[in-house]
């Protein structure tokens, strides 16, 4: 089935459009079970904003903003402030089609995307619930079930095997290994993962942690060891496009861009200059509509995409799973952060054994409702 992006509403969706009655912001901080450690530092909590949109027809839609200060400086507090300023401009207005809503939000709230994405998500969810359309069908609806990989964060070396054992007990069979601080230690990190999970596919993610020389050194040593990760995500700083392109030429496995991509303009730049072979698409960087557009642009250019997440709860990752369902196949699905949260005040389908998002029971919208 082709993608069903409704760019212009037709008669089915324009007669007696419901009005946006209220928009509420619910800040929520959820402690992580253990610190989530990457090359830039550690997360101890998920600092979220849940968005609740109530329509004149009684429908309620939900969205989630998951700001990431290390990525773009956006915080829970700054997102909350930006949304408080924006909301009065939307309340009382008719609920337009999703594409028109997304374009309006980009005009009204430019800049870092997670707060905008949370509101976009809630508005889309209310629209889908009104017209009884599962979000996956809006994106094309190719698969009812998608499976996430799982991250081995930068825990101490002595805890790696224990961490991998826990991941395997969940039935997950693709691993993401965080690296980016010290080449020799990172090689040992990769070796320990391979030892505990021999033969399982994995990829590596430096989160901008290496210099060009360090990344080249790691690649050379992996070649010598005949190690073959699926791909190498964001080895260099986000602005080092030339270095990314050089690594793409010499590396025997693909280079993926994550932090380098925060807008459609970045996507166009990457595709034009061929700086990487994979793009990590995250809702909190791009929003819903522009994430879908990114995937379409990349496919036309012969560049693969993966679908990832910030430190998000199941509301946002299920939304991303709908995107993965409608745009399958992808290079990877990295929507594992629910597993790291100490609690989730949510109703709706749980993530199943093997890291499976089962979307088959969702009849409209995202299918996840916060218990606030």
DSSP string, 161-226: HHHHHHHHHTT---EEEE--S-HHHHHHHHHHHHHHSTT--EEEE-TT---HHHHHHHHHHHHHTT
19 and 145 part of one domain = no
Domain membership of residue 2 (yes or no) is no
275 and 365 part of one domain = yes
195 and 286 part of one domain = yes
Domain membership of residue 6 (yes or no) is no
The segments of the chain whose pLDDT lies below 70 read 1-15
C-alpha distances in angstroms, 285 versus 139, 172, 175, 229, 244? 18, 26, 23, 25, 20
Closest to 120 measured CA to CA, from 76, 86, 69 = 86
Question: What DSSP character marks residue 372?
Answer: -
Domain membership of residue 1 (yes or no) is no
φ/ψ of residue 172, rounded to 5 = -85, 140
101 and 156 part of one domain = no
Range of the domain at 360: 141-370
Beta strands 346-347 and 369-370: pairing type? antiparallel
Q: How far apart are CA 36 and CA 202, in angstroms?
A: 18
Q: Are 149 and 177 in contact (CB under 8 A)?
A: no
Question: What DSSP character marks residue 22?
Answer: E
CATH number at residue 24: 3.30.390.10
User: What does the pLDDT read at residue 321?
Assistant: 98
Q: How far apart are CA 268 and CA 97, in angstroms?
A: 26
State which of 91, 117, 136 marks the end of a domain: 136
Q: How far apart are CA 153 and CA 176, in angstroms?
A: 8
Domain membership of residue 81 (yes or no) is yes
Tally of domains within the chain: 2
CATH number at residue 354: 3.20.20.120
């Amino acid at each position: 089935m082709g993608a069903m992006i409704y760019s212009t509403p037709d008669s089915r969706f324009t007669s007696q459009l419901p009005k946006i009655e209220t928009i509420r912001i619910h800040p929520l901080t959820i402690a992580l079970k253990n610190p989530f450690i990457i090359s830039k530092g550690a997360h101890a909590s998920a600092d979220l904003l849940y968005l609740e949109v109530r329509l004149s027809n009684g429908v309620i839609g939900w969205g989630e903003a998951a700001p990431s200060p290390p990525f773009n400086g956006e915080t829970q507090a700054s997102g909350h402030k930006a949304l408080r300023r924006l909301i009065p401009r939307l309340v009382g207005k008719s609920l337009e089609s999703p594409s028109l809503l997304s374009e309006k939000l980009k005009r009204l709230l430019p800049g870092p995307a997670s707060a905008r994405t949370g509101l976009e998500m809630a508005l889309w969810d209310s629209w889908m619930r009104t017209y009884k359309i599962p979000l996956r069908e809006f994106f094309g609806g190719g698969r009812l079930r998608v499976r996430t990989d799982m991250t081995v964060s930068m825990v101490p070396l002595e805890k790696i095997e224990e961490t991998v054992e826990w991941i395997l007990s969940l039935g997950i069979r693709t691993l993401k290994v965080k690296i980016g601080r010290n080449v020799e230690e990172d090689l040992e990190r990769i070796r320990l993962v391979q030892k505990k999970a021999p033969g399982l596919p994995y990829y590596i993610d430096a989160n901008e942690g290496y210099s060009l020389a360090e990344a080249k050194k790691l690649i050379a040593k992996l070649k010598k060891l005949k190690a073959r990760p699926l791909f190498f995500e964001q080895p260099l700083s986000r602005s080092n496009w030339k270095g990314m392109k050089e690594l793409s030429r010499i590396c025997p496995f693909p280079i993926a861009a994550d932090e380098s991509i925060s807008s459609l303009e970045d996507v166009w730049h990457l595709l034009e200059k061929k700086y990487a072979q994979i793009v990590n698409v995250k809702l909190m960087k791009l929003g819903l509509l522009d994430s879908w557009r990114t995937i379409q642009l990349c496919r036309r250019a012969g560049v693969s995409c993966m679908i990832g997440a910030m430190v998000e709860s199941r509301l946002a990752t299920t939304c991303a799973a709908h995107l993965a369902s409608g745009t399958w196949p992808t290079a990877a699905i990295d929507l594992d952060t629910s597993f790291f949260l100490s609690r989730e005040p949510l109703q709706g389908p749980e993530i199943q054994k093997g890291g499976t998002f089962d979307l088959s029971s969702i009849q409209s919208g995202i299918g996840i409702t916060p218990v606030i």
